[in-house]
Structure 1
């Protein structure tokens, strides 16, 4: 079922007594829920989300519980950014419920605007470090996934094996992944609370600093490298240095020399997961997109590999 913004606006008025809706328009949503931005008569902005499936409804309930736990850490000063605070719920005819909350202030992060120095890049590093310093009980108590280092490495290996069976991963790239995943020395890390789905649209900024983080549906206890991978891959290199410097200064865990190696690998393995998503859903366009990116990555890795000098006879 796909709900229109008008239907979602009606759910918002049922969830928040006294809400006077003036306008509503679609908001970015995942494949498993419908979302709309609702504007009230005072120009206040609200976000309403309604799950489409029972599984999405269960995920939303877990997120609601997580947001309440995170809010405690926001109010206690342990997290330097805001998270959504549910303002009300509305029952859905097919079961489950929709959630409504005020839209957080700020604009989505634009990676190309990041520069070196103590500004936004450093704020981003400190925000990630603060998240990774949270007690893992924040996630464990909500029944969300929890992995130890060995188990997480096995999970990544299983993904690579499944991607290999599609026949779409270039052999040299596959060997590279297998070599890195089989090197257990790279995978000695302390699992932490990770957001799990950090993108530009999920990080909100205002006045040159991170002011909010949204999109907590993939939160788990896992490898901190996962939350850094998108930055190492896509942010300007000089800004990456400032992000990492601020991040490492804020972290109390200093014994992870392969953090950046795993972060770069995680960025590469995201292409394997995109391929698998296309295969599982039967979406040929996604499969072809993933195949093209895997070939580009393979070519890039080949170019960066050192060329062996010929041995003199």
Structure 2
């Protein structure tokens, strides 16, 4: 139920003797809120906080924590709300009135990393977890060992699965983590249970510098218990940046009496995700169909986000070591010089792998030495090839019949080479300074072994058009 600010101010006046309200300001009412809260300022300029439970269950929670806060206020280096009076409610239960604790709520999304408020928050959580377990036991708060706490969460997940509102992928993910006993080896510690930015009060020496921030107090202790220390990091790991969360964890580890377990962060992420399960079960218990659908939609959005994160983490790229080898032409390894081999063998290898035809792009720009080499290569034409045209072969004087029969073959090979008229007119085709490929001549004359000298027209570099 929503209570008016004036009604809450009247409760404060009735709870604390000498409190004469001068002004009152109530916090906006939110769906699912357990308490009506208002800030009252009296005529002596003192500020007070009034908290009236909306349900009997919330009232019972508040009564349990009252004893705890009285014990913690003398043992922690930060402030906790300590009630100064109570006022009975007409519907049952009672409202509590606390002195106002100065400070500002912290937005974990904007928490800066490094020394300052993030490190201060880590030390604050460590101081709470270092508290004596007997304090919580004396206040009558529940305590859970690791296996009992894990089983309790599994039972809650089973009840949520029965509603049909939890996505299958989330159920499988949470069951897998809850059934992994190795993740649940922690030392039970005193915990706040619901440590969000709204429960942290911080003060700053310089409002423009977050590095000057200090934690003044913690409020909202209704979920306090002895349990998993990872629960107090659930909101931080969900909302703060990775760098800020790392700063909190580092400061926490340095201030803890016992070394934190290595799976704390992983369980904190699980606790952050499963808070939606707790909210879903609360909505089901209230029999509010609209609220149930809202929590179910939140679970679906969480399922989509986790799926997207898992796909981004595993992008299915192959490692460079397992990439398939490129396919391409087989390359001949370079020839290494060896003084123990004859130089003629090197010439044979070079001749074997030499280009047999010039590129089309560079055919018109061939140098005179290249032209001579092409003309010399024409001598390797097949002897019984027919001439390209019907013109009679030119007979050279002093050449026997067998040599004369091969002459048209050589002429035909030479005549097939394209000759540009401009190139013939501008510069001579024959370069006297060009080296004569003696090795090719030797190869050629080995084929003509036993024949007479065919004449000068078969010498390398000889131009039949002269």
**TM-score, normalised with respect to structure 2:** 0.62
| Equivalent residues in 2 for 1:35-50, closer than 5 Å | 35-50=37-52
Q: Deviations over 1:66-101 (max 9, x none)?
A: 11011110xxxxx23111122222334455432211
* 2:235 counterpart of 1:230: yes
* 2:174 counterpart of 1:152: no
Paired residues, number: 307
Counterpart in 2 of 1:142? 139
Aligned CA-pair RMSD: 2.2
Of 190-199 and 58-67, more deviation after overlay is shown by 58-67
Contact 1:230-1:267 at 8 Å conserved across structures: yes
* 2:114 counterpart of 1:117: yes
Contact 1:114-1:121 at 8 Å conserved across structures: yes
Counterpart in 1 of 2:374? none
Aligned partners of 1:113, 1:41: CA distance in 2, in Å? 37
Counterpart in 2 of 1:20? 20
Contact 2:253-2:260 at 8 Å conserved across structures: no
What is the deviation of 1:42? 3.5
* 2:260 counterpart of 1:263: no
Counterpart in 1 of 2:258? 253
Aligned partners of 1:164, 1:188: CA distance in 2, in Å? 26
Structure with the largest fraction of strand:
1
- Which of the pair has more CA radius of gyration? 2
Contact 1:195-1:227 at 8 Å conserved across structures: yes
Contact 2:35-2:54 at 8 Å conserved across structures: yes
* 2:290 counterpart of 1:293: no
SS of equivalent residue, structure 2 residue 190 = strand
What is the deviation of 1:113? 2.6
What is the deviation of 1:254? 1.7
What is the deviation of 1:6? 1.5
What is the deviation of 1:120? 0.2
What is the deviation of 1:2? 4.4
Alignment gaps of 5+ in structure 2: 205-212, 324-466
Using a 3 Å threshold, how does the CA distance of structure 1 residues 168 and 271 change in structure 2: closer, same or farther? same
Aligned partners of 1:192, 1:214: CA distance in 2, in Å? 18
Aligned partners of 1:278, 1:54: CA distance in 2, in Å? 16
Using a 3 Å threshold, how does the CA distance of structure 1 residues 297 and 97 change in structure 2: closer, same or farther? closer
Using a 3 Å threshold, how does the CA distance of structure 1 residues 115 and 31 change in structure 2: closer, same or farther? closer
Of 25-34 and 160-169, more deviation after overlay is shown by 25-34
What is the deviation of 1:277? 2.0
Counterpart in 2 of 1:76? none
* 2:58 counterpart of 1:61: no
Using a 3 Å threshold, how does the CA distance of structure 1 residues 106 and 179 change in structure 2: closer, same or farther? same
Equivalent of 1:191 in 188, 191, 195:
188
What is the deviation of 1:169? 1.5
Aligned partners of 2:215, 2:304: CA distance in 1, in Å? 35
What is the deviation of 1:299? 2.3
Aligned partners of 2:57, 2:282: CA distance in 1, in Å? 17
Counterpart in 2 of 1:161? 158
What is the deviation of 1:256? 1.0
Contact 1:274-1:286 at 8 Å conserved across structures: no
**TM-score, normalised with respect to structure 1:** 0.91
